Chain A
Amino acid sequence: MKVKIKSWMGVATWRWIANDENCGICRMSFENCCPECSLPGDDCPLVWGACSHCFHMHCIVKWLNSQPNSQQCPMCRQNWKFNIQ
């Protein structure tokens, strides 16, 4: 071996993998946080439903709390279940 890698210091950024650009509830982009928060990131995470729709966690929780009778996804009206990947 002529050259060998001893160590590597890598830098990466992370983004959410979402099937849409924007949150369907607050219409903010997933790169940004929900309107209640001031900074995107761990404090304002995204969640996925079993129906594969994705929202800011704060947004969907607020939505579900405002729907006393049926817990439906606001996009497709299927029953909402958190998808734990």
Chain B
Amino acid sequence: MSLKPKQVNFDNVWQELKETVKQVLTMANVPTSVWQDRFSDVYSLCVAFPEPLADKLYFETKQFLENHVQNMLATQVAPPDRNSSERKNILMNYYKAWSEYSKGIEYLNNLYSYLNQQHIKKQKISDADIMYGNASPDNQELMEIGELGLDIWRIYMIQSLGDELVAHTLEGIKEDRMNGIDSKYVEVIHGVIQSFVQVQGYKKKGNLKLYQDLFETPMLNESGKHYRNEAAKLLQRCSVSEYMEEVIKILSDENRRAQRFLDSSSVTKLRKECEERFINDHLDFLYSECKEMVSQEKRKDLRNMYIILKPIPDRLKDLLKQTFLDHIKNEGIETISTLKGENIHIQFVENMLKVHQKYQKLIADVFENDSLFLSALDKACASVVNKRINERQPCRSAELVAKYCDSLLRKSKTTESEIDTKLTNSITIFKYIEDKDVFQKFYSRMLAKRLIHEQSQSMEAEEAMINRLKQACGYEFTNKLHRMFTDISLSADLNNKFNSHLKDENIEIGINLSIKVLQAGAWPLGPTQAAIPFAVPQEFEKSIRMFENFYHTSFSGRKLAWLHHLCHGELKMSYLKKSYIVTMQTYQMAMLLLFESCDSLTCKEIQETLQLNDETFQKHMQSLIESKLLTSSTENFERDTEIRLNFDYSNKRTKFKISAALQRETPQEVEHTMNAVDEDRKLYLQAAIVRIMKSRKILRHNALIQEILSQSKVSFTPSISMIKKCIESLIDKQYIERTPNSGDEYSYVA
């Protein structure tokens, strides 16, 4: 066969071609050789000489297709004289005809591919034209044969039968909702519905429009009506909990139904309709028992409620959340407001943790860890933890949590791993504390005591805890705590060096010295107690001098100040029947050492020799009397009260400790800590104000407050009045001033 253009007789060729077209459309058998001949016939018509006959071919084919479809309609699908039982079969007939035709037209499109490619595509408007709206709505444009075929089907078949078809499909779906229909029929209905989509499938724009106008809208209306009725029926006979269960079932049924019958684009729309009718329309009903469900923690109902409400962005979810939040809050407040007794701090943290864990689990089980509910849990816990039980007193949570950590980190019989988990958990509560700076103050005081008195369970546990705090609050928060650790390990080195120095110099001091040298700024020791006057007994003054000299040679330019109230030592008593080794504080040691040369002394003598103030003297003498190592002639210590060594003293143990009143946290100390925190806050705020004003130069009052709040958020929430006071004092100090024109604006004074 030659590809050269040649003269062709159109009528002859078309006669043959027409036969084949018919065979193709009716899915009759077309031998390969015939197919190829007709394929080249199309070609030769398109390139015919002297005139190409493509337009004529197109026109004739169109004519033929129109006739064919009309014929199908009249004979196969909907004969004009059909009776009512045949009418019922319309879906079946249509489906059969469509299946045949749609496949046939696809093949025909291939047969005409030369015409499509060379003749029609060339004059087709491009995608870009469609996108940018340049295309003129010119219906006369030529279509590819496949498209033409589909369009003809739409015009002759769907336009005349559409409504009838839709009515029947809707009928079918309704039937399926009531009783279910067999899968063959489902396939037919699905096929019919799909034909509405496929018949426009070639369109680049609005290809679902026919489907939506013709079928989807009535289908949604019809379904909506059905849902409304169903919902009304359910409401009459069901409780909320039953209703929710039914709705969940219906939702999943409808979803499955949508997938079986409808085009995939409609599935979500139908679901939405379903949710609207069953859930959104009856929110008040659903909510009516919400409170009860939450307060009784009906997990199954809450779970159902969550499933139902999840897809709906609505106020109800907020109501559920709010109810849930209030419920947790109430429970939390209840559990912490009834605390009594010695170990309030343990109860506080552990009860709070129980509440937290319980609801965390509930959220995981019931609400799929939805962040909405997790944040409700956080909010509830935060408001419980930061609640002031007594309006007049500051919130004690920070102190209690710090104490809890302290009780765990002190030497005890609890196992290492248990301590570890408990401390990890305590961080959960810690994170809710607003006044983190208060926590820090208490924590560092307690840490200082543990370190100085060597009461820590283990250094690993201490360090692990500090790292947890660092993770939660950042480096700034813990660097003083780290500093304290460094001092302790530096001191250990120092003692080793001192001891080897003594060895090298062949000096025997007779006392086993162990000294902790702390950096003044890093330890929360309080300035008041450092300056208690005290005459160090000569028995160990020499050793102290020796150490001081050693220290000064190692570190020049430094001055040591002894904190005798924090020192303690071991005394060996050899004047009694048995010899005892007693651990006690330095002041008590000093008192006992005075009895070396005599057996009795007056209070005045003791106090003057040691140059102690009244308070210190009273306190330590009292504990020596209580321990029965000394006896006193009067109940109270007057100046001339006689103190004697008790030679009859005996104790089952040979090694013991005289407890000192000092280690207990007194109410004053708590108050002291709170005051210190307040002072720190003022300094912090002032520094923040200066920083902000320095960079902004001029700022309005409210904007300044906002910036301060956002900066201080990490460690505490300052009261507005405190911020105002700080601003005032900075104005007094002339760091900032009010701008002359406006009352509520400040400017930075350089």
A: residues with CB less than 8 A from B are 1-18, 31-32, 38-42, 46, 48, 54, 85
Pairwise interchain contact A39-B569, C-beta atoms closer than 8 A: no
Minimum Cβ distance to chain B for residue A34 (Å)? 13
Give the CA-CA distance A54 to B558 in the complex, in Å: 13
Minimum Cβ distance to chain A for residue B687 (Å)? 12
Give the CA-CA distance A85 to B511 in the complex, in Å: 30
Pairwise interchain contact A9-B525, C-beta atoms closer than 8 A: no
Q: Which of B452, B479, B571, B575 contacts A5 (CB 8 A)?
A: B571
| A-B CB proximity, top 7 nearest | A7-B512, A8-B569, A85-B556, A6-B570, A2-B575, A11-B566, A13-B520
Given contact pairs A6-B581, A9-B514, A41-B483, A14 touches B558 in the complex (Cβ within 8 A): yes
Which residue on A lies nearest to B594, using beta carbons? A3
What is the total of A-B residue contacts with beta carbons within 8 Å?
142
Could you tell me how many residues of chain B have their Cβ less than 8 Å away from some Cβ of chain A? 55
Pairwise interchain contact A11-B563, C-beta atoms closer than 8 A: yes
Pairwise interchain contact A14-B574, C-beta atoms closer than 8 A: no
Pairwise interchain contact B589-A5, C-beta atoms closer than 8 A: yes
Pairwise interchain contact B517-A8, C-beta atoms closer than 8 A: no
Pairwise interchain contact B574-A12, C-beta atoms closer than 8 A: no
Which residue on B lies nearest to A5, using beta carbons? B511
Give the CA-CA distance A41 to B480 in the complex, in Å: 11
A–B pairs, 19, beta carbons within 8 Å: A1-B574, A2-B596, A3-B571, A3-B592, A3-B595, A5-B569, A7-B570, A9-B516, A10-B514, A10-B567, A12-B516, A13-B519, A13-B561, A14-B551, A15-B520, A31-B520, A32-B521, A39-B479, A48-B557
What would 15 more interface pairs be, CB under 8 Å, given A11-B566, A15-B520, A40-B520? A3-B572, A3-B575, A5-B540, A5-B572, A6-B570, A7-B569, A8-B589, A14-B517, A14-B519, A14-B555, A14-B558, A14-B559, A39-B483, A40-B521, A41-B483
Could you mark each residue 475-504 of chain B with 1 if its beta carbon is under 8 Å from any beta carbon of chain A, else 0?
010011001000000000000000000000
Q: Decide if B670 is an interface residue (CB 8 Å cutoff).
A: no
Give the CA-CA distance A38 to B517 in the complex, in Å: 20
- Of A5, A39, A41, the most chain B CB neighbours within 10 A belong to A5
Q: Which of B522, B555, B560, B596 contacts A3 (CB 8 A)?
A: B596
Pairwise interchain contact B517-A13, C-beta atoms closer than 8 A: yes
Chain B residues contacting A2 (CB-CB under 8 Å) are: 573-575, 595-596, 645
Chain A residues contacting B614 (CB-CB under 8 Å) are: none
Q: Decide if B649 is an interface residue (CB 8 Å cutoff).
A: no
Which residue on A lies nearest to B530, using beta carbons? A13
Q: Which of B521, B560, B568 contacts A31 (CB 8 A)?
A: B521
Chain B residues contacting A14 (CB-CB under 8 Å) are: 517-520, 551, 555, 558-561
Give the CA-CA distance A13 to B571 in the complex, in Å: 24
Give the CA-CA distance A18 to B570 in the complex, in Å: 36
Pairwise interchain contact B480-A4, C-beta atoms closer than 8 A: no
Given contact pairs A3-B572, A6-B572, A8-B512, A17 touches B557 in the complex (Cβ within 8 A): yes
Pairwise interchain contact A3-B513, C-beta atoms closer than 8 A: no
Chain A residues contacting B214 (CB-CB under 8 Å) are: none
Pairwise interchain contact B575-A39, C-beta atoms closer than 8 A: no
Q: Which of A5, A12, A39, A46 contacts B557 (CB 8 A)?
A: A46
Minimum Cβ distance to chain A for residue B535 (Å)? 16
Chain B residues contacting A9 (CB-CB under 8 Å) are: 454, 514-516, 567-569
Which residue on A lies nearest to B537, using beta carbons? A5
- Of A3, A4, A32, A41, the most chain B CB neighbours within 10 A belong to A3
Q: Which of A3, A13, A17 contacts B523 (CB 8 A)?
A: A13
Could you mark each residue 416-436 of chain B with 1 if its beta carbon is under 8 Å from any beta carbon of chain A, else 0?
000000000000000000000
Q: Decide if B562 is an interface residue (CB 8 Å cutoff).
A: yes
Given contact pairs A3-B572, A3-B573, A15 touches B561 in the complex (Cβ within 8 A): yes
Chain A residues contacting B479 (CB-CB under 8 Å) are: 38-39
